[in-house]
Amino acid sequence: MAVEFTLNGEWRDFAGDPRTPLLDVLRDGCRMTGTKSVCRAGFCGACTVMVGGEPVPSCQRPIGMLEGAEIVTIEGIAPPEELNPVQRAFLEHDVVQCGMCFPGMVITLTDFLRRNAAPTRSGIKEALSGNMCRCTGYERIIDAVMSIRETETPAAEAVSR
Amino acid sequence: MNMKVDPRTAVMDMPRRDARDKVTGRTRFMVDMAGSDVLRAVVVRAGSGAAKVLRIDTSAAARMRGVRGIATAADAPQLHGVGVMDQPLFVRDRIRYPGEPICAIAADTLEQARAAAAVVVVETEEMPACLTMAEALAPGAPLLHPDWKSYECIVDGVARGGNIAWEGKVVRGDVDAAFARPDVSVVESCFRVGRQSHFPFEPRGAVASYEDGRFHVITSTQVPWTVRAVTARVMGVHASQVRVTVPPVGGAFGLKFDASIEPMAAILAKKTGRTVSLVNSREEETQTCLCRENADIWIRSAITPEGKIAGREAVVLMDAGAYGGEQIFLSTMTAHTLGAGYRLESVRMSSRVVYTNTPPNGAFRSCNGAYNSFALERHTDEICEKIGMDPMAFRKLNVLSDGDPGTTGQIFEGDVLGPMLDRMEALRERTGTREHRAGDRLYGLATTVGTWNIFVGPSSATINLNADGSVTLITASVEIGSGSITQGVPQIVAANLGIHPSKVIVKGADTDAAGYDMGTGGGRTVVSMGAAATAACEVVRDKLLDTASELLQTPPADLVLRNGRVEIRDRPGSGTTIETVIARAEQTKGPISGSGAFTAPQSAKAMPGCAAGHFFDAMDLPVFIVHEAEVAVDPDTGETEVLAYRVVQDVGRAINPRAVRGQIQGAVIQGIGYGIHEAVTIGADGGIEQTGFETYHMPLAQDAVKVEIDLYEGAPSCGPMGTKGIAEVAIMNGGATMACAIANATGKRVQQLPLTAPKVLALTCGIEPVLDHPHISRRWSDNILR
């Protein structure tokens, strides 16, 4: 029996093995490769997506458990041709290097800012405990997020439903 | 007509052109390229280490559902290697390490390929193994490569034999006489380091097809031309049969400086007639990682009463794993890293690459420099302790300055390290120290120096001028995340042509489009590709000015390229737009394009007869760093917190200071990881015990510290506009500085990396055994082949 869910606001279904991780449904089934497959064990955070308003590692969510779920991926986190405040801050601070971790970083931090209007550096670091980066040494990511706090409050609709 | 371009016009904090797609998930890395029309392949790997192969049978696998092709040793007849051709693509008569490839299987789906892999029959007979270098060097040790003499070697007469894959040595001056002096203090140290695993987010892999009688390999690599050469070599076809293209690379750090599984994908593509994706799983990637090698180091110095270094001798054992690989080349870097930094009246060093029945090692950002600097700087501090001299004063007295000879007799230009040490003191003055944050924990501060060489060497570039005023830069350089080809090189091109860097289009690496390039690594891209691109700019600039001269009725010598225009010198706003000149040239002479090339200037010379078994005797472009850390060690847990980290780095000229700082920040955290977090362990079967992120402590955000950075500019450089490579060397002293700071904090003799919490706790409790290296003879000459 097919599983039905919404993906970036659109109804989708999946008829394959219900144990298939959401990550593979997105990447192989939907060919949406913005969600990165890196550790496949729930440690690195590169495959983070929003499920029902919560950031989760999509490698750890079998599709069969997601009947009716609202899923938002990096492709849907901001309207096409637009950037959300986290993405914009990453560009403005020249944060990106290889880039593989950034889709997950954007999802996690967008959600974090929605819940924490005035974060501290240590609070941001704590929020990133499930998002690893091998290139940047993190601090510039923190700088970028702190700059958002200083310049704007990200609207709740930054995470589109 | 080569007017000097003002290098200051290149300097800007230009943002990355690839960032927008990377933060929106649109960037397609190699791992994102396998759609439903692409076959998926897996590598069948040896389950155990040293063994004789009795039978490999793939016939049952070939009959499995969905299987389209199997690549085996028969498809890859030639051996490959770096320096010594000792490695088969697939196992033949013997298995040398756990995880060694047996064959590769392509099927319609990954599940089908895996199911087929499970029924490949591999019958073996266990053989005696050498799991450590001590075992491999013991008398009567089993040989990993009994046929070593038959291997093709790129140079004749190199010292190698038995389990010693390669030996480099350097001898300058009378070391025996220095140690025999009655007035010297002799200080002897032993060190050991474990492996470091790169953990790039994108694993190694390739998407290959066979098109019009040629192989096309799309791969995540730093070295497209090496992949082209190795892929062709192992299959026994001409290199021109292989085209390599490279999309954005999801992290590399040196791991992707060699071909690995690309040839397997190519073979499968030809056999199946389909496009094939072959990508390491995270477990495979971790367990076959071409790590920064583990090493054993012995170093001894004779110090005069004034605190000068009369003599120094050292032996470095580098674990190659089962095949020589990059370690053969890197043995050269012992002289230029362990032998670097300090003025030595006499010196001798032996750098030995040793085969063991473990996964092969490879290149990792600063390579053996990262542990040779650890050994050198800990040894330096042990010297200071023994002779009662302040470590900073000793360094200031002994670091190389203008006109001093290096270990191979090369004469160094410029007084760099000394002033950099002064700048570190000034930086510390500005930032203040953080001892107060240590609380009840043990506090330590250490300052270290390091030297690395920029691997200049051949690069070529072509520039096409477009009628819209943009230019297209065609190179085989790769964007691995460092920004060298998305920021550095376009900035250099733009400054040369008087345009904005956003007008410089960079073609992705393609060996069918671009000329030869040695690869993206070793800190070389901005220097070598920047220089090749500069040479190409000179060609197109001459053509531009020639045409503009006719248009403007002004001699070319009086024209300058500025703000997208060809202007008459000293008359800003005069002349005409570059578009006009390009369009005119298209009509009168044909479109403007030009190519340029660069290679090592070879102006640096070693003293004849000093070095043997070296790939280069003198450093073309030395680069220096001074690192300083403050740490707090918890005596109850052994846990180290980095309270502060400061860097003074020789950058030549920082043309994108913000990007340079970003590279330094990232590299330092990797270096701290090497120093105190990241541990690779070898199990009883010779295999790597870690399987992925869950068993390897890569630094997390909470482990990071904001690095205070001072960019030291103006040191001599052959790089364009005075640039140097900056991303490689920045990691080098992470391990050294952690070790020295922890030694200072605990008052204990730190001999090993990594200094994970249990190790530090063992040190502070006094239960860590003293390292003595019985397998390294105290008579230096016993440690060289004759």
- Supply the CATH number for residue A103's domain: 1.10.150.120
Q: 3-class DSSP state for residue B643?
A: strand
Q: Give me the pLDDT at residue B786, please.
A: 83
Among candidates B29, B361, B374, which has minimal Cα distance to B197? Answer: B361
Tracing tokens 């032993």 back to the chain, one arrives at B190
Q: Give me the pLDDT at residue B634, please.
A: 98
Q: Using alpha carbons only, give the angle B575, B578, B579 rounded to the nearest 5 degrees.
A: 120
Q: Beta partners for B95?
A: B51
Q: Give me the pLDDT at residue B602, please.
A: 82
Same domain, A112 and A151: yes
Report yes or no: B37 at the A interface, CB cutoff 8 Å.
Answer: no
Span B364-406, pLDDT tens digits: 999 999 999 999 999 999 999 999 999 999 999 999 999 999 9
Side by side, which strands form the sheet with A3-7? A10-14, A3-7, A70-72, A48-51, A54-57
- Portion 705-764 of B in contact with A at CB < 8 A: 705-707
**What top-level class would CATH report for the domain B295-455+605-764?**
alpha beta
Amino acid at B457: G
> Is-contact B508 B434, C-beta < 8 A?
no
Among candidates B609, B15, B439, B522, which has minimal Cα distance to B223? Answer: B522
Longest dimension (CA), chain A: 49
Amino acid at B784: I
Cα B196 from Cα B611, distance rounded (Å) = 28
pLDDT band at residue B2 under the 50/70/90 scheme: very low
Q: Give me the pLDDT at residue B754, please.
A: 98
- B201:A78 CB<8 A: no
- Long-range contact pairs involving B500-504 (C-beta distance under 8 Å, separation at least 24): B500/B564, B501/B12, B501/B14, B502/B17, B503/B469, B503/B470, B503/B471, B503/B564, B504/B470, B504/B471, B504/B473
Q: Give me the pLDDT at residue A161, please.
A: 33
Same domain, A51 and A114: no
CATH code, B457-598: 3.30.365.10
CATH 3.30.365.10 residue ranges of chain B are 295-455+605-764, 457-598
pLDDT band at residue A160 under the 50/70/90 scheme: very low
Q: What is the ipTM of this complex?
A: 0.96
Among candidates B432, B620, B616, which has minimal Cα distance to B528? Answer: B620
Total number of domains in chain A: 2
Question: Which residues in chain B have Cβ-Cβ distances shorter than 8 Å to A98?
Answer: 200-202, 248-252, 480-481
Q: Give me the pLDDT at residue B155, please.
A: 85
* Exposure string over B745-778, b if 16+ CB within 10 A, otherwise e: bbebbbbbbbbbbebbbebbeeebeeeebebbee
- A87:B24 CB<8 A: yes
Tell me the mean pLDDT in the region B577-599: 97
Cα B603 from Cα B342, distance rounded (Å) = 22
Span B149-198, pLDDT tens digits: 999 998 888 999 999 999 999 999 999 999 999 999 999 999 999 999 99
Domain boundary among A55, A76, A97: A76
Min Cα separation A126/chain B (Å)? 7
Same domain, A7 and A72: yes
> Which is it for the CA torsion A115, A119, A125, A131, positive or negative?
positive
Same domain, A104 and A142: yes
Spatial neighbors of A151 by CB under 8 A, at least 6 apart, are none
Span B617-648, pLDDT tens digits: 999 999 999 999 999 999 999 999 999 999 99
CATH classification of the domain holding A33: 3.10.20.30
Query: For B293, what's the count of Cα atoms within 13 Å in the CB-facing half-sphere?
Result: 36
pLDDT over 70 (residue A153) = no
Q: What percent of chain B stands above pLDDT 70?
A: 100
Same domain, A101 and A127: yes
Span B305-352, pLDDT tens digits: 999 999 999 999 999 999 999 999 999 999 999 999 999 999 999 999
Q: Is residue A161 part of a domain?
A: no
Span B547-556, pLDDT tens digits: 999 999 999 9
Closest CB to B22 among A39, A102, A141: A102
Span B462-496, pLDDT tens digits: 999 999 999 999 999 999 999 999 999 999 999 99
Side by side, which strands form the sheet with B185-193? B611-612, B164-172, B347-355, B309-321, B295-303, B185-193, B752-753
Cα B195 from Cα B754, distance rounded (Å) = 9
Tell me the mean pLDDT in the region B565-587: 96
Domain boundary among A32, A48, A76: A76
Report yes or no: A82 at the B interface, CB cutoff 8 Å.
Answer: no
Tell me the mean pLDDT in the region B276-294: 98
Spatial neighbors of B150 by CB under 8 A, at least 6 apart, are none
Same domain, A9 and A31: yes
Q: Give me the pLDDT at residue B603, please.
A: 83
Same domain, A47 and A100: no
Among candidates B745, B749, B730, B747, which has minimal Cα distance to B674? Answer: B730
Pairing of strands B242-245, B214-219: parallel
Least confident span in A27-31, A132-136, B279-283 = A27-31
Mean pLDDT, chain A, whole residue set: 93
pLDDT band at residue A155 under the 50/70/90 scheme: very low
Mean pLDDT, chain B, whole residue set: 97
Same domain, A70 and A89: no
Span B15-61, pLDDT tens digits: 999 999 999 999 999 999 988 899 999 999 999 899 999 999 999 99
Q: What range defines the domain where residue A22 resides?
A: 3-76
Span B740-776, pLDDT tens digits: 999 999 999 999 999 999 999 999 999 999 999 999 9
Q: Beta partners for B186?
A: B302
Same domain, A22 and A43: yes
Q: 3-class DSSP state for residue B128?
A: coil
Tell me the mean pLDDT in the region B534-539: 98
Cα-flanking dihedrals φ and ψ of residue B708, to 5°? Answer: -90, 125
Same domain, A99 and A40: no
Min Cα separation A99/chain B (Å)? 5
Cα B739 from Cα B606, distance rounded (Å) = 32
- Portion 508-567 of B in contact with A at CB < 8 A: none
- A31:B35 CB<8 A: yes
Q: Is residue A120 part of a domain?
A: yes
Q: Give me the pLDDT at residue B157, please.
A: 85
Cα B264 from Cα A140, distance rounded (Å) = 39
pLDDT over 90 (residue B290) = yes
Q: Give me the pLDDT at residue B3, please.
A: 52
Q: What is the CATH T-level fold of the domain B39-127+204-279, as seen in this structure? A: Aldehyde Oxidoreductase; domain 3 (3.90.1170)
- B250:A87 CB<8 A: no
Report yes or no: A79 at the B interface, CB cutoff 8 Å.
Answer: no
Cα B399 from Cα B480, distance rounded (Å) = 33
Question: Which residues in chain B have Cβ-Cβ distances shorter than 8 Å to A40?
Answer: 281-282
Tell me the mean pLDDT in the region B231-244: 98
Same domain, A38 and A21: yes
Domain boundary among A28, A53, A76: A76
> Is-contact B312 B382, C-beta < 8 A?
no
CATH 3.90.1170.50 residue ranges of chain B are 39-127+204-279
> Which is it for the CA torsion B307, B309, B312, B316, positive or negative?
positive
Q: Beta partners for B206?
A: B219, B278
- Portion 463-482 of B in contact with A at CB < 8 A: 480-482
Span B407-428, pLDDT tens digits: 999 999 999 999 999 999 999 9
- Portion 37-56 of A in contact with B at CB < 8 A: 37-41, 43-44, 46
Kindly give the interhelix angle for B734-746 and B657-672, rounded to the nearest 10 degrees: 50
Span B69-123, pLDDT tens digits: 999 999 999 999 999 999 999 999 999 999 999 999 999 999 999 999 999 999 9
Report yes or no: A107 at the B interface, CB cutoff 8 Å.
Answer: no
pLDDT band at residue A157 under the 50/70/90 scheme: very low
pLDDT over 90 (residue A37) = yes
Tell me the mean pLDDT in the region B695-708: 98
Q: Give me the pLDDT at residue A156, please.
A: 41
